[in-house]
Structure 1
Amino acid sequence: MNPQTPLSPQLLALDWGTSSLRAFLMRDGEVIETRQSAHGIQHLPQPGTPGYEQAFAAIAGDWLRQWPELPIVACGMVGSAQGWKEAPYVRCPADIGTLAGQSVAVPSGLGPDILIAPGVLFDEPGELPDVMRGEEIQIAGALLDHPAWAARSCMLLPGTHSKWAQIEDGRIVRYASYLTGELFAVLSQHSILGRLMPAAAEKPRETDEAAFELGLSVARDSRPGDLSHQIFGTRTLGLTGRLPAASLADYLSGLLIGHELVSGLAGAGDLAQVPLVMIGAPSLCRRYAHSLHFMGRAADAVLDNTAPAGLWNLALAAGRVGGGHR
C-alpha cells in the first residue's frame, strides 16, 4: 500500500495486557487491520526492554517499515510498574485530556516513540482505594462513540476484575472493582469446591440456567456476611445431591456475579436516571445481561471491544492525530 493512498493508516494503536498484545492500524477512528500475539507483559520473548522491543517488532515491524512516521499509542499493563515503562496512575476525577497529559513516551526501537496511557486511581478518605489500567481507555472509546453518555452514565466492564465506573461531565469520578472472575477461577480450580466439579476441559456443556439462577437468588436475598457461607454451599449442594456435579460451577458463578450486582447496583445510585452501559466480551456480557434481568434491571447498551476507539480518543487528545472520526 502506498503511504499516499486514501487507505493509509493514521495511527498504530496497541492494547498490551498481561497475557496478550493486540495491534490496530487505524484511520479516521476506524480499525483497518488487526493483529494479535501471545506476547503479553508476562510472556515476552526475553526479559526487560529487549523483550518488549522484540515483541513490538514482531507484531508491527513491517508496518513501521512501510509507514515510518506513524504515531503510536498504547494502553494496558504495558504502562504498569512491571511494564515497559511505568505511566503512574492519575487520580479521579479523570477524563481523556488528563490521561493524554499524563501519558509517558518510550522509545519503540523502530523509530517513533510509543505514547503509553496511565491508569486511574480512586483514593478518597474513608473508602477503599481502587485502581484500573486499560478499562479507562475502553470507557474513553465508549464516550467517543456515544457523546451523550459523557454527561452522566454508569459503565459496567465485567471480567476477571469487573469495574463499575460512574461518569460525570466526561470524567471518571469514582469506580469500584470486583474480583468476580478471578475468585471464580480460584475457588473452582484451587479449593475443595473444585473436587466435586467436573474438569472444564472434559467437554463443552450447556449452562444449567436453574443452578445459575439459584446462585443469583441466594445472592439477592442474602444478609451481610453471608457470602462465605453461601460459597461453602457449593460443596454441600453437591454432597447432598441437591445439585448435580455438572451444575455446581453454574451455581457458584451465579452466586459471585449476583453479589457483584447487588453491590454494584446499590453503589451506582439511581440508575433509573442514567444509562447503564456494559462493555466486554460478548459471551460474558450475555451472562451479565441475564443476571441484570434476573435482578430487575437491564443494560441500556452492550458494547464489545471499545479499546481501539479509546486509543484513537487518546491520540486525538494528545495531538497525535487530527480530528477525523467515523
Structure 2
Amino acid sequence: MISRRCLMAALAATPALARRARAATWPERPVRILIPFAPGGAADTLARILSESFKEEANGQPLVVENRPGAGGTLAAASTAQAAGDGHTLLMGDIGANAVAGALFPTLPYAIDKAFVHVIHLANLPMAMIAHPSVGGGTLQGLIAAAREKPGGLNYASAGPGGASHLMMELFNRLAGVQIQHIPYRGGGPVLQAVLTNEVQVAFSTVSTTRPFIESGGVRAIGVGGRNVVPMLPTVRPVAETVAGFEAETWHGIHAPAAVPPDVAAQINRVFNALLRRPEVLARMEQQSAIAVGGSSDAYAAFVRGEIDKWSRVVRDAGIRMTN
C-alpha cells in the first residue's frame, strides 16, 4: 500500500516533472523568428546563419526566418509580444524596438519593459565613426577641434531619424561638447555615400558596411563605438579614449513573449548558447563582423534595462520625437 507521505511527495513532484518534460520537448514544431527589418540586413543575416544549424540543437526542428519590417521595428515586436507563450514565436531584438522605441514614440502597442522575456544576448555589431579624409586631419581629436572652432559648421549623416546612427551622434555631441548638425538619409548606403563625397563630414556606421571603404581610403575610421578595439579594425582606438563615457554598439538578441514559462525560456537559452559555440556559426558571424556574446537570460535582461535607461536619456536630451 502506498503511504500517504509517499502519495503527497509524488503529487508535489508532478508539476516539476511536467515542467522538465515541457522544456525538454521544446521545440515541438518549427520556430518562427520575426526580424524587424527587410531581408539582407545585419539582423536578417544573423538569423539565417543561426537557422542553418538550428535543427542540430533543437530536436530536429527548423528556425523559420520571417521578415516583418516597419514602424522602426515595432511591428515585429508587437507581433511577438502578442504571440502564444509556448516559445515557438521569437523576436530578433535590437536597440530600436527593445530599447529606444519607448522614448521615441508617444504610444506603443506593447510595454517595452514588460512585454518580453529577454532570453539571450546573441551578438554585438561594432560601430565605426567614419569621417571624410579632409576633415580634422583624419583624426577624432581634429574633428572635435574643428567642430568647436565653428559650432554648427559640420554635418553628420544618419540612416534615419531616431535610428542608432542618429542617437549615437547625439550622444557624441553631448559628451564631446560639440554641435555637429544632423542630416538624415534613407538607409545606410546613402549615409556612406554622403561621407565619401564630403556631403557630410562624419557618421556612425557598422564596421561590416564600412570596412571596404576604410581599407580603400575613401573614408577614415577615427574611432570605434565600443569600449575595446575590434579585431576587424585593430589600429582604430575606441572613441571613449578621447570622449569620456562614450560607448555605443548595435546589438541583437532573442526575445520571447512575456507569457513564455521560465523553464521553456531556459531551454531556448540553452539552444542558442549551443549555437553560439558551434565553429561554423562563429566563422560565419566573424565574416559579418559580428561578435558573439551568449550567456544567461538574467545578464541579458540587465543589459537591456541599461540600454533602455541610457538611450531614453539621449532621446530626451536631444528632443527627438517620432510619430506613430
TM-score by length of 2: 0.27
Q: Which has the higher contact order (CA 8 A, sep 6+)?
A: 2
Higher helix share: 2
TM-score by length of 1: 0.27
